[in-house]
Chains A and B, each alone.
Chain A
């Protein structure tokens, strides 16, 4: 049962990501990517990470992608005039390289002994998550907050109107 849901969700994620990277219209790409993040969030939920699933939807789909949408709408590049490059010029090599990497990675992953995942044993509740986060990784939390602060300052500086 769970396996079927997982395959369905992963098919949805791969398909929507594929659609997202091949759209000319940026808004369509963003919408497909939101679908992809949504299915990834559900996969996270299945894999015993309810908090990360909620954060995936909240942060990626709800904040980051809205930011993209907002910028695209604001700059009015909806109908982007940038042509897709001819297939064999750029797409060809990139797709071939990606396929080679993918093939070798799959061989490596599938060649190792198969360990089935057991969903219930590793269910990590928000409480456990928070405890681990603020005891074991408190320094990393500080570093992340500093990173966000720097990003804020950087974005503010770049966005200033009277930039030289």
Chain B
């Protein structure tokens, strides 16, 4: 009996996560605009609803009702699917994020991630590497020079920083002895990995910031050089998909930084508080990204490449060596 219940649970979880994530992304936009405004001595959006709380709704309505323009030069098919690739790969990453302790509903233990892959960390890397296609194809298919440059820059940047991001995950996998995100969180029940390998955390944050193509790493859409980079030609809801992709990306990357380094959903108090702890930690990281956007100037393209290849990659390799060495000496491996 009940062979369909696991499937049902998976489908419910997937829909719930999709709904919550998209709503969070919309409010992430509002939070960023508000915070940026405060940091720049402005008010930010405050006209629609109390404190501007309905602003995301208004934005969505505006985007949906706008005309969806297809440039004459564009490669029709690829132009139409590229935004979906950007948003889709980011949303798919959420499938493996464990954002709370397992809960028991009517005798069935429900794990929080939609699927607990035994190669979860690699799945995340694979999905983020597929995200490159969205950027590169959008840039190429628009048939505009600005878009093409944005696409080339964006894809080069993302390939470069994927390396250091992957290498920053190696200490975590070494200390856990597993790629599964559930195991990684379980291994941090006492001490989060940021204590064991703070350097990896810093490298991961920088690489992730570059991977999400935001200031100070927004070379792919640098507005004073490339108009809007790879999504110059897009309008309406297709532009909205890029926007959703960007903000869901911030959420998912913050969530993964928490999962890999800050102990996941572990925290003081009863287990039902785990969702709250996870949300709090992820919000802190997301706030850090917004803060960085308000503070730092954009890098030059060669500086970006130098930072990636000549600094972060060697540093993360050295960090892998160092963490392995220390783990051997102090018997850190807890599996």
Contact = CB atoms under 8 A, between A and B. Distances in A.
A binds B: yes
Interface of A: 25, 27-28, 31, 34, 50-51, 53-55, 57-58, 61-63, 66-67, 69-70, 73-74, 78, 125-127
A126 B119 contact: yes
Given A31-B78, A69-B133, A73-B152, A127 B126 contact: no
Interface of B: 75, 77-78, 117-119, 122-123, 125-126, 129-130, 132-133, 136-137, 139-141, 148, 151-152, 155-156, 159, 162, 177-179
Contacts of A70: 136, 152, 155-156, 159
B3 to A, nearest CB: 12
A78 B140 contact: yes
A61 B129 contact: yes
A70 B126 CA distance: 18
A34 B125 CA distance: 16
A80 to B, nearest CB: 13
B75 A73 contact: no
6 contacts: A31-B137, A54-B122, A62-B126, A62-B130, A66-B155, A126-B179
Contact of B119 (A27, A51, A62): A51
Contacts of A67: 159
Given A63-B159, A73-B148, A73-B151, A58 B78 contact: no
A74 B122 contact: no
B122 A27 contact: no
Contacts, number: 77
A17 B212 CA distance: 31
A70 B177 CA distance: 35
Nearest to A78: B140
A62 B152 contact: no
A58 B122 contact: yes
A73 B118 CA distance: 36
A54 B75 contact: no
Contacts of A127: 177-178
B77 to A, nearest CB: 8
A25 B140 CA distance: 12
Task: Kindly name the residue among B77, B118, B119 whose own CB sees the greatest number of chain A CB atoms within 10 A.
Answer: B119
B75 A25 contact: yes
B37 to A, nearest CB: 37
B5 to A, nearest CB: 17
Contact of A27 (B75, B123, B126): B75
Contacts of B152: 70, 73-74
B126 A58 contact: yes
B155 A63 contact: no
Given A34-B133, A66-B129, A73 B122 contact: no
Contact of A50 (B117, B129, B177): B117
Contact of B78 (A27, A63, A66, A125): A27
B230 to A, nearest CB: 11
Contacts of A57: 126, 129-130
A20 B175 CA distance: 42
Nearest to B149: A73
A47 B151 CA distance: 36
A25 to B, nearest CB: 7
Contacts of A58: 122, 125-126, 129
Contact of B129 (A25, A63, A73): A63
Given A28-B78, A126-B179, A62 B117 contact: no
Contacts of A62: 125-126, 129-130, 132, 162
A57 B123 CA distance: 9
Contact of B140 (A55, A63, A73): A73
Most chain B beta carbons < 10 A, residue from A25, A27, A34, A54: A54
A78 B140 CA distance: 9
A50 B119 contact: yes
